Structure 1
């Protein structure tokens, strides 16, 4: 099949290489000339394990190309995926500007019947509007069929999730669109859910809402564990072995971040409130998540005292390991509050480089974690990169000023660190 993906972000680019790998003829379109120039040269502009290698392979096989030429891209392809961003507005609603622009672009240039697949996360009811936006934008009267095909890719594991999904959801009022998209994914061995566009949109939001709920639930349990001197890891393990619950997303820590959960929860709550069906549980989930950085910093201040003039080492800038994405990363509010407390902040991350505005604020970065930790009064772990577990903590003990570790991801061995005479605190992990 000849497929176009409009928008070459994490999702669009990953799906482009995966669909090309499945044997389809794929074009990636974006208005960002720098992104496209980089991809045309075979250079992935973001960090995502495995995608670079597959990108190289598909470019070499001539099954994948990238362009900024919207007219040619729309004319030459039959199935058009919309994979643009839907950031949150100040009121929590999704900003559909990029979705509308993509729809209008399709309407302006389409020359024959097209199947349009919305893969961006959009509020319930949006996919049905896309058809109207397309038809209103151009004079060509050739019909279009629209469908919703939500993505369930985890950054840091996007390639594996795209190749081996738990399920593929397709929502459309068109039998032709449902069947065509099913055929497009015929190589995938997983359950297929066929529903309406609104059903597919709701599945996406409800799925992320439930996963976020598991995270905030175990984080509240962790706070109670701290009070009662219970190891939350034992609690998570005991809960997770129940097949009705499962172990995933029951790891206590600093909460969720990234480009999906925070945005999607805000948009889901906005939709619910607009329809006068407030989701009180999900609202509390969001509140708990916002509180997590403060909860860890309270631990730091209780142990270290005033942070003014103290050297604080922050390990991890990405919102999760194996990605360079810092959107909604908990490291950001933690660093900001440390600066407000007049601490001296030095940071490390294996793949993320600090933006200039943080350097201007006085934050220091070093590519050597030992140099970041040297002479520190407190070590705060924000991202559970495996590199931090592999550090020589005996060496660390000799170079710190104050042996205090605050593990926001509960990734280190508390007993071993206690034997090395560290003050160690996790979240719900005494």
Structure 2
């Protein structure tokens, strides 16, 4: 298990380039299974979860070639489908939640798909019903082996387009169903579809491969199936979650930081939500500049004077992946704020570590926490912590970088799952951080 030692209390300064988007990359990589032709993908982040999925694709028989840093070619012209029923896949697939998205492409192209119950963050229940209900509506047969916790779908006569209203706007569920539907017979209509920029990117990539998709960017998608798909070249967006993390880090450490090439138009509510905490977020071309908040930052209130409430929602609402960052940043704000995590039930349980560091937080229930900001009058204190998941891990790292003294964070593999080479990149702008294997 890896560990970070962080000497906090130092101001940072400089430019930082966001990595490619993890959540987009996981979808895009699964889409290479839809064609036998070569696909080139650029700006792939070098992180644990993405590398695990690339390994699964290689073991499945995909020809993978690294062209340069972040750029790969993939060709799925000679796959070994027997790998999907072997012990190696059960082990590898169960360690990565994103592996669920190989099922849709395999089902569409080969008439069958398998997946062990996938792992991932320990942030509460994350149902797979949306995925499999969508496949069933397209004509697939479903089975589940409870003893081996192994899912399977097959459609020996192929998939047929239909109308479906999703029970939730699941991003991975929508991606999986879209990838299955692009090769189905006839028209598929998906209502209450997720419409995150990463899902839009997947749809645009599929269109460039020859798919017929209408309504991209909305929650109503219409897909007319085609016989085959071809190759393409695709560029992955910068990671909006990492961009939000660097905004929070700059504010908490009173640092002047410029985040480069952020694809501003794809950030949605993220800049304005940080502004609600009083943080200055300046647009400079396609960069974000955060000036040093030497006098702190003050939480806004609603028009009627009531306490600020920041909550998550499906896109175009505020992404749940940044609520833990908002919570940490609020600990040093002037004023109070209620953080309401609606979409996951266990993501706020890391606040006990922040309370140990001196933060004033009232955990109301598994979904809500009230934070009374210190206004930098009382600095957080260093402590020893363990990272429970990716987003809590980066939040604890931000807290440690702002704290007085030297903190220790164990289980940093969780952070490495979502953030590329984070210690070296932070050291480049002045952070005092050491990795201990």
> Which has the larger share of helix?
1
Question: TM-score, normalising length from structure 1?
Answer: 0.30
> Which has the larger share of strand?
2
